Amino acid sequence: RKPTLAVVGATGAVGTVMLDILSNRPNVWGEIRLIASARSAGKVLRVRGEDVVVQALSPEVFDGVDVAMFDVPDEVSAEWAPIAASRGAVVVDNSGAFRMDPDVPLVVPEVNPEQVRNRPKGIISNPNCTTLSMMAALGALHREYGLRELVVASYQAVSGAGVAGSQRLYDELEAVAGDRTLGTVAGDVRKAVPDLAGSPFAAPIALNVVPAAGSYKGDGWFSEELKVRNESRKILGIPDLKVSATCVRVPVVTTHSLAVHATFAKEVTVEGARRVLDAVPTVVVLDDPENNVFPTPADVVGTDPTYVGRIRQALDFPNTLDLFICGDNLRKGAALNTAEIAELVAAELTS
Ligand code: 2RA
């Protein structure tokens, strides 16, 4: 029997991409049940070429479910993932609710697939998209050279903040379009865009960049920055990895970018790094700067790989590589990695 899959949060930004991914990946699932809040129940969505009616979240909806993917806010996962697990489902959760729980593995199939079986609570966490977008590449480089320090600046797409994030960018772009004087006087863009009270972002996102991603956590840090540190350590299995991140929201709809300054135990070379990255099937090296070949969000959005370019040996640091990495935050950064984890569980359940 093929396992039954539940997709919780089927109508959200990641849920929508998940249905596309499930429709195009090897068909390892029997029934696929779509679940969302009561507000969305009754909607009809298409998956694997079939219409499926969305069901409301309830304990009973998990009866008979083998694997349940959750893409819902932290507090919804915190409440409902244990309920799904208690009904017998293995939960793959893409919220922040369980990622740092020592009894919940945080899995990137290219890096630590064996951790999938280490799930005493019946819950496996999917990393945050910012961390995840660089893990396939950094995991491979770590295996070869031994990662010691990671300094990261992110350029995060607005869809990381969900459908509301994308809508906000489009609304602001509409408000500023046509005025060729904007962006020349302090505060002019702020005046031109709709009231920020209705925005998921702390400042205008059109014609601007916003160094505030996630929620403020005190001592100067935003949640996205702390997630990069904590999650990188856990996924790579380096508890004392030195990490510092600055996370910035940019006016890109989908695909996060990261400028990575990674220091290793061993001396590195650009050729060596390229060889290591080329050997990872899910990593694509786009690196010919002389001919303007490097990854950009607009050129890679909607695709699955992690793209790496601008590979340099840092001039003043012999053990350090500088890289520019792009990954679709809704695909490998969220839905695809979740689907890959779920497929590992499906293989286990049917073996
Ligand atoms: C963001 N990383 O980009 C988050 C989404 N989970 O806002």
Q: What is the pLDDT of residues 202-253, one digit of tens each?
A: 999 999 999 999 999 999 999 999 999 999 999 999 999 999 999 999 999 9
Report pLDDT for 113: 98
Which atom of ligand 1 is nearest to 157's Cα? 3
Q: Which two tokens stand for residue 184?
A: 């020349």
How far is the centre of ligand 1, averaged over its atoms, from the C-alpha of 332 (Å)? Answer: 13
Q: In whole angstroms, what is the distance from residue 176 CA to residue 179 CA?
A: 6
Mean pLDDT of 254-275: 98
**Residue type, position 323, single letter:** L
Q: Looking at residue 95, what is its pLDDT?
A: 97
Binned at pLDDT 50, 70 and 90, residue 125 comes out as very high
| Cα distance between residue 97 and residue 90, in whole Å | 16
- Token pair in block for residue 205: 């996102």
**Band (177; pLDDT cuts 50, 70, 90):** very high
Segment 328-335 mean pLDDT:
97
Residue 254's pLDDT is: 98
Q: Is 213 in the pocket of ligand 1 (CB under 6 A)?
A: yes
Q: What is the pLDDT of residue 153?
A: 98
Alpha helices in the chain (DSSP H): 13-24, 74-86, 129-145, 163-176, 188-192, 223-236, 270-278, 297-300, 336-350
**What is the model's pLDDT at position 5?**
98
Residue 88 burial (CB count, 10 A): 13
Residue list, annotated binding site for substrate: 156, 249
> What would the pLDDT profile of 53-105 be if each residue is shown by its tens digit?
999 999 999 999 999 999 999 999 999 999 999 999 999 999 999 999 999 99
- Is 160 a pocket residue for ligand 1 (Cβ < 6 Å)? yes
Q: What is the pLDDT of residue 260?
A: 98
The average pLDDT across 149-165 equals 97
pLDDT tens track for 23-67: 999 999 999 999 999 999 999 999 999 999 999 999 999 999 999
Q: To the nearest whole number, what is the mean pLDDT of the chain?
A: 98
User: What number is the average pLDDT over the span 266-272?
Assistant: 97
The tokens 């507090």 sit on which residue?
A: 75
**84 closest CA partner among 335, 334, 333, 342:** 342
SS3 of residue 310 by DSSP: strand
* pLDDT-derived band at 348, boundaries 50, 70, 90: very high
Q: Which of 157, 231, 244 is nearest to 201 (CA)?
A: 157
CA distance 79 to 11: 19
Question: Could you give the angle at the alpha carbon of 47 between the alpha carbons of 41 and 52, nearest 5°?
Answer: 35
The number of C-alpha atoms within 13 Å of 256 and in the hemisphere containing its C-beta is: 30
ipTM: 0.96
Closest CA to 215 of 78, 96, 81, 51: 96
Q: What is the pTM of this model?
A: 0.96
How many helices and strands, by DSSP H and E, does the chain display? 9, 14
Residue set of the binding site for phosphate: 99
- State in Å: Cα 63 to ligand 1 middle: 31
129 is catalytic: yes
What string of H, E and C letters represents the secondary structure of 142-153? HHHHCEEEEEEE
Nearest CA residue ID for atom 4, ligand 1:
160
